[in-house]
Structure 1
Amino acid sequence: MNHRAQAALRERVKELTCLYGIATLSEQPGISSQEILQGIADLLPPAWQYPEIACGKVVFDDFAYMSPGAVEGAQRQSARIIVHGAERGDVEVAYSKTMPDLDEGPFLQEERKLIDTVASHIALIIERKQAEEERQKLQDQLRHADRLATIGQLAAGVAHELNEPLGSILGFAQLANKNPGVPKESSGDIQRIVNAALHAREVVKKLMLFSRQMPTRKEHVDLNKIVKEGLYFLESRASKSNIEITRSLASGVPLIFADQSQLYQVLVNLTVNAVQAMPDGGKLTLKTEACGGRVHLIVEDTGIGMSQEVLGKLFIPFFTTKDVNEGTGLGLSVVHGIVTSHGGTISVESEVGHGTRFTISLPSAGEKGADGGDN
Structure 2
Amino acid sequence: MTTVKDKLKERIKELTCLYEVTSIIANSDFDQIETSLEAIVYCLKNAWQFDEVTQVHLSLGDYTIQTEGFRDSMTMMDSNIKVFNKISGIIKVGYPEDRYFYADFLEEEKDLLNNVTIAIGNLLERKQIKESEAKVKRQMERTDRLHILGEITAGIAHELNTPLANILGFTELLKERIDDSGAVRDLDKIVENAIFSREIVKKLMFFACEMPQEMQPVELNEMIESTLKLLTPSLRTKNIKLTKKFGSDDIRLRADKVQFTQVLFNLVMNAIYYSPVKGTVGVSIIEKGKKIQICISDEGDGIDPKIEDKIFEPFFTTKPLGEGSGLGLSVVHGIISSHKGTIQHKPNKPKGTVFVLDFPKL
Q: TM-score, normalised by structure 1?
A: 0.86
Paired residue type of 1:60: L
For residue 198 of structure 1, report the CA deviation from its aligned partner: 0.9
Cα offsets for 1:121-173 (capped at 9, x unmatched): 22222222222222222222222222222222222222222222222222222
Structure 1 residue runs of 5 or longer lacking an equivalent are 366-375
For residue 4 of structure 1, report the CA deviation from its aligned partner: 4.1
For residue 12 of structure 1, report the CA deviation from its aligned partner: 2.6
Q: Residue 277 of structure 1 contacts residue 303 of structure 1 at CA under 8 Å; is this kept in 2?
A: yes
Greater displacement, 313-322 / 123-132: 123-132
Q: Residue 294 of structure 2 contacts residue 356 of structure 2 at CA under 8 Å; is this kept in 1?
A: yes
Find the aligned partners of 1:341 and 1:314 in 2 and give their Cα distance: 18
Structure 2 residue runs of 5 or longer lacking an equivalent are none
Q: Relative to 1, partners in 2 of residues 1:66 and 1:266: Cα closer, same or farther, differing over 3 Å?
A: same
Find the aligned partners of 1:96 and 1:11 in 2 and give their Cα distance: 20
Q: Relative to 1, partners in 2 of residues 1:140 and 1:93: Cα closer, same or farther, differing over 3 Å?
A: same
Cα offsets for 1:189-212 (capped at 9, x unmatched): 111111111111111111111111
Partner of 1:370: none
Find the aligned partners of 1:105 and 1:331 in 2 and give their Cα distance: 67
Q: Does 1:199 align with 2:196?
A: yes
Greater displacement, 203-212 / 250-259: 250-259
Q: Residue 306 of structure 1 contacts residue 351 of structure 1 at CA under 8 Å; is this kept in 2?
A: no
For residue 246 of structure 1, report the CA deviation from its aligned partner: 3.8
Give the 3-state SS of the residue equivalent to 1:214 in structure 2: coil
Alignment of 1:89-108 (within 5 A): 89-96=89-96, 105-108=103-106
Give the 3-state SS of the residue equivalent to 1:322 in structure 2: coil
Match for 1:349 among 342, 346, 349? 346
Find the aligned partners of 2:349 and 2:76 in 1 and give their Cα distance: 46
Partner of 2:110: 112
Q: RMSD value over aligned CA atoms?
A: 2.6
Q: Residue 292 of structure 2 contacts residue 359 of structure 2 at CA under 8 Å; is this kept in 1?
A: yes
Q: Does 1:313 align with 2:310?
A: yes
Find the aligned partners of 1:24 and 1:245 in 2 and give their Cα distance: 58
For residue 228 of structure 1, report the CA deviation from its aligned partner: 2.3
Q: Relative to 1, partners in 2 of residues 1:47 and 1:151: Cα closer, same or farther, differing over 3 Å?
A: same
For residue 62 of structure 1, report the CA deviation from its aligned partner: 7.8
Find the aligned partners of 1:314 and 1:157 in 2 and give their Cα distance: 24
Q: Residue 300 of structure 1 contacts residue 358 of structure 1 at CA under 8 Å; is this kept in 2?
A: yes
Paired residue type of 1:129: K
Q: Residue 250 of structure 1 contacts residue 288 of structure 1 at CA under 8 Å; is this kept in 2?
A: yes
Paired residue type of 1:44: L
Q: Relative to 1, partners in 2 of residues 1:8 and 1:271: Cα closer, same or farther, differing over 3 Å?
A: same
Find the aligned partners of 1:293 and 1:93 in 2 and give their Cα distance: 48
Q: Relative to 1, partners in 2 of residues 1:158 and 1:121: Cα closer, same or farther, differing over 3 Å?
A: same
Aligned length: 360
Find the aligned partners of 2:76 and 2:280 in 1 and give their Cα distance: 57
Greater displacement, 159-168 / 256-265: 159-168
Find the aligned partners of 1:155 and 1:105 in 2 and give their Cα distance: 73
Q: Residue 298 of structure 2 contacts residue 348 of structure 2 at CA under 8 Å; is this kept in 1?
A: no
Give the 3-state SS of the residue equivalent to 1:313 in structure 2: coil
For residue 20 of structure 1, report the CA deviation from its aligned partner: 1.6
Q: Does 1:239 align with 2:251?
A: no
Find the aligned partners of 1:248 and 1:308 in 2 and give their Cα distance: 28
Q: Residue 245 of structure 2 contacts residue 284 of structure 2 at CA under 8 Å; is this kept in 1?
A: yes
Q: TM-score, normalised by structure 2?
A: 0.89
Q: Percent identity at matched positions? A: 34
Q: Residue 307 of structure 1 contacts residue 352 of structure 1 at CA under 8 Å; is this kept in 2?
A: no
